[in-house]
Structure 1
Amino acid sequence: MTASTLPLAPATISVAGTGENAESRRSGRPIYADDFARLRAQDPGYFDWLRHVTPAAGCSRPIRLVGERLTADARTGELVGYMNTATMPDGVIYKACGNRRASVCPSCAEVYRRDAYQLIRAGLVGGKGIPATVAGHPAVFATFVAPSFGYVHMRRASKAGKQIPCRPRRHEDLCPHGIDLRCPRIHADGEKILGTPLCLDCYDHDAQVVFNHQAPELWRRTTIAIRRALTRIAREVGVQAGEFRLNFGKVAEMQRRGVVHYHVIVRLDGVSPDCPGAIVPPPSELETLDLMAAIAEAAERTRFTTAAHPRRADGWLIAWGDEGQGRYADLRPVKTSGDGDITDAMVAAYLAKYATKSTEATGHVSGRITGDLVDLYADPEGTHPERLVHAAWSLGCTKEWAGLRHWAHMLGFGGHFLTKSRRYSVTFRILRDARVIWRRTVEHDDQAEDDEETTVVISTLAYSGAGWRNTGDAMLANAAADAARSRAAYAREAMREATTF
């Protein structure tokens, strides 16, 4: 069913003065989205409404705020401005939800993705307040591999890059449950079967959700191990521990099988005696290969055992990768010149893409799960995602492990999807504030920054609701936002072509 034919109840909040409920009674049929859009567009205040909702026009579920805002002169205390949402179109202020998940709000997630790209790339080549000299610092793109919890369907490739069968075997390979663990197929990208266990009963769902839950702690211990390993390497070449520091940007990716692994940029910086907070080149004795050796050693050796659980008295061993295969982390140097294995732009785009994703790849998408909702998503005999949710919920039965229930909708993972060290790059807040200042400067003829220095704004805005008043408003707002994006893209392309001549 498309948006233009989606029926809405006649009781839906109406556009002032359009009388759509009366029209519904006259026609004897329900109001549809295109009816609301037509009535809104016929309203004399349509263009005022469109300008009013522009900041949140592309958002799928904008936040509605009500209240008032006072603006006073900071020097005299005189009231110089007053605004009440009651005098505005619809009586509310629309604010974009800001959700980072593309499955929830594609528009806000795209803004987040672009900010993530700028944040990550600034830590590789400079900009946004980061010195351009960081482009010459040793940097490694590391993927910390999650361990195996059972055989799953997957895409495999040979060393030459040719696709090969999933799990070929010459002879029958039966598991204890009588399931043949062979799979001679070459799976296509995007197949739903990818990431699902060959035998659901053999798969260790409990261990996987515990690993997801403990992954942030494993990463914390890994960063300590990297520093210790690099300190030892540095001393061998005559460099002291206080002469360098590590900075990183990290993105968590939820794989199809429902387990997280980390993509990390690790950058090696120096320490300036005159300005400890400055970002300066590291000692010349330390090279990229030294950094890679320290990361590889830390990935292999970092491990710990969790606290005891009623279902596992000796706890679970938490470590990277598969010890049997000897694969713990995939390490590649980052080159900004474009002649290395991977470039700064490739890394930034790759990580920014995963910053807007969550558990969608597994087929499970939900909000916070409560006791009333758990039966909708958890089933010990159900699909792979349902068994993971059940494992998280059942293991979180004790106070010490209650975090598993809190993050059951995330399959046990409760960490942030994008984090960084303090000095790696700028912050999301700096990027958002710069965008706000730019918008206010453009709208108010370059007077916004001067006004902010001499005025004080007191807001008493409160949450009124979320979402558009009706589907017709959503259609018009999103159409306007799409047109604005198209104009901006055309303008960027025109400027790019102009600079080439």
Structure 2
Amino acid sequence: MRDLIRLANDPGYQRWLEQMRDIGGCAHPVYLSGYSVTRDVSTGEILVSYSTTDEPGDRLAVRCGNRRASVCEPCSRLHAGDTYHLVRSGLSGGKSLPEQVRGHPRLFVTLTAPSFGPVHRATGVGEVCRFRRGDPVCEHGEPLGCDLAHSDTDELVGKPLCVACYDYVGHVLWHAHGGRLWDRFTTAVRRHLASSQGIPRSELGDHLVVSFAKVAEYQKRAAVHFHAVVRIDGPGGPESPPPDWAAAELLTEAVHQAARSSNVAVPESDAYGLERVGWGQQIDVRPIGEFADGGGLSDEAVAGYVAKYVTKGAADSASGLDHHVHGLEEIQRAAVSSHLRALMATCWRLGALPELEPLRLRLWAHSLGYRGHILTKSRRYSTTYSALRAERADHKRRSAGVADDPNAVKESSWRFVGSGHTPGEALMARSIANDIARNREEARAALADYGGRWPDDAGWV
């Protein structure tokens, strides 16, 4: 409360509020000090100038830009919006892509990790977790069944029935090779499409282009699985139609075949007996749009689904921690489940093996050995995050009445001077973020009442 009173009585309080509104109530802003000057190249005249000299504390607040909702919810919302447009433009067009991509074969694919041992699972009404006749036990004396009915929020969901039986080494090594396994999968899809028509793999690009956009999600058992959009274009990319033989049915067959055949060799070691890793048995392939045949997904639903999972952090998923760890003692103190601590400890121990040094398991122990990006895409699938952010910056400049001048040159100098909030600032920033979120939801609800567009006489800008 004292800090809140101090903040409200500060002479620069109103300007600080303006800065917080400009960055959407960011939970962990970065502060910069410096200046920028825009001059006319020919005359040297100063067109626009800005300096933090007159700002509170001689500093300017900028967004932290963290994608994880558990770290900064306001910035994660912005990242989710960018992800939505990135994925949706690859399905419906827009953002430099033609609308005709909507007519190309497109699938929504889910690939899972294999089983590393039985775990408790959420059940429906009247269904038990794992029914076993005769109450059998494993070699360690633990029950092989569970007669309980678990809800989605039950802490037991995702945890092994027997910790000693669970293949923690296999789990960690599967994560460590997940990126390479995905690469093998995409190569196998293209190989199957080429072989189905008797085309050499090296010449497939003369007939079509296969594009992907995938997001990684941690399941309750703390194993990553991948949701991916797969699209076939013509040889010219999104602007050209694919050949008639490249239909959604053939693409579905190629996905299933690639998931069954792709695998990655694991470095040999006397510490474990694992030789290869591959995909799990659960594979879901669903058509998108006009290829739905009554059971498909809309472009908006797929884009929203991907955007939802790309912002997940340790607070709302079984993904480990938001920061690196530096030893077994820190892992044991981590405020996560015993299952996650066991996975991180396995990463730490395996990271000491010389044959596994290239996997850098200790560096990625906080993410349970998974070292891939949360979202990746093919170069030609759609636009980029950089392009979306540049477009947003241009829009803000135009809204502020700043026109682009080809004869202007910009000179700037910035330095980092701090980050984060004091307790009072954090409270006010959270209030601003909540107001913005509430206004957004109200605007979205109003938009839905008008069928997805504002009426001509609404009077809103």
Q: TM-score, normalised by structure 1?
A: 0.82
Aligned to 1:267: 231
- State the Cα deviation string for residues 131-172 of structure 1 (Å, max 9, x = none): 111111111111111100011001356xxxx77322101112
Distance in 1 between residues matched to 2:15 and 2:345, nearest whole Å? 50
- Deviation, 1:417, is 0.5
Identify which range, 124-133 or 204-213, moves more after superposition. Answer: 124-133
Distance in 2 between residues matched to 1:486 and 1:448, nearest whole Å? 32
Distance in 2 between residues matched to 1:258 and 1:195, nearest whole Å? 7
Distance in 1 between residues matched to 2:16 and 2:313, nearest whole Å? 34
Determine whether 1:401 maps to 2:356. yes
Contact in 2 for aligned 1:126/1:133 (Cα 8 Å): yes
Determine whether 1:465 maps to 2:432. no
Of the three residues 382, 395, 415, the one matched with 1:438 is 395
Contact in 1 for aligned 2:129/2:147 (Cα 8 Å): yes
Of the three residues 155, 162, 170, the one matched with 1:199 is 162
* Other structure's SS at 2:28 match: coil
- Deviation, 1:56, is 2.4
User: May I ask how many residue pairs the two structures share in their alignment?
Assistant: 442
Contact in 2 for aligned 1:55/1:96 (Cα 8 Å): no
Aligned to 1:455: 408
Of the three residues 316, 320, 329, the one matched with 1:375 is 329
Indicate how the Cα distance of structure 1 residues 95 and 389 shifts in structure 2: closer, same or farther if over 3 A, else same: same
Structure 1 unpaired stretches of 5+: 1-31, 322-326
Of the three residues 181, 184, 189, the one matched with 1:221 is 184
Indicate how the Cα distance of structure 1 residues 178 and 193 shifts in structure 2: closer, same or farther if over 3 A, else same: same
Aligned to 2:346: 391
Letter in 2 for 1:390: A
Q: TM-score, normalised by structure 2?
A: 0.89
Contact in 1 for aligned 2:74/2:433 (Cα 8 Å): no
Contact in 1 for aligned 2:109/2:228 (Cα 8 Å): yes
* Other structure's SS at 2:300 match: helix
- Deviation, 1:497, is 4.1
Aligned to 1:13: none
Aligned to 1:251: 215
Instruction: Map 1:6-25; keep pairs closer than 5 Å.
Output: none
Letter in 2 for 1:317: R
RMSD: 2.4
Indicate how the Cα distance of structure 1 residues 147 and 103 shifts in structure 2: closer, same or farther if over 3 A, else same: same
- State the Cα deviation string for residues 325-367 of structure 1 (Å, max 9, x = none): xx25211111258743322222111111111114442273241
Indicate how the Cα distance of structure 1 residues 369 and 149 shifts in structure 2: closer, same or farther if over 3 A, else same: same
Query: Alignment identity in percent?
Result: 36
Aligned to 2:275: 316
Contact in 2 for aligned 1:258/1:359 (Cα 8 Å): no
Determine whether 1:425 maps to 2:385. no
Letter in 2 for 1:92: R
* Other structure's SS at 2:288 match: strand
Distance in 1 between residues matched to 2:342 and 2:99, nearest whole Å? 48
Distance in 2 between residues matched to 1:182 and 1:294, nearest whole Å? 37
Indicate how the Cα distance of structure 1 residues 279 and 163 shifts in structure 2: closer, same or farther if over 3 A, else same: farther
Question: Which has the greater radius of gyration?
Answer: 1
* Other structure's SS at 1:263 match: strand
Of the three residues 323, 328, 331, the one matched with 2:285 is 331
Structure 2 unpaired stretches of 5+: 456-461
- Deviation, 1:187, is 1.4
- Deviation, 1:375, is 1.0
Distance in 1 between residues matched to 2:314 and 2:432, nearest whole Å? 31
Contact in 2 for aligned 1:64/1:465 (Cα 8 Å): yes
Indicate how the Cα distance of structure 1 residues 68 and 425 shifts in structure 2: closer, same or farther if over 3 A, else same: same
Distance in 1 between residues matched to 2:126 and 2:56, nearest whole Å? 57
Of the three residues 94, 99, 123, the one matched with 2:61 is 94
Contact in 1 for aligned 2:20/2:432 (Cα 8 Å): no
* Other structure's SS at 1:266 match: strand
Aligned to 1:17: none
Contact in 1 for aligned 2:114/2:278 (Cα 8 Å): yes
- State the Cα deviation string for residues 25-61 of structure 1 (Å, max 9, x = none): xxxxxxx3xx333333344443222223322242111
Distance in 1 between residues matched to 2:47 and 2:404, nearest whole Å? 16
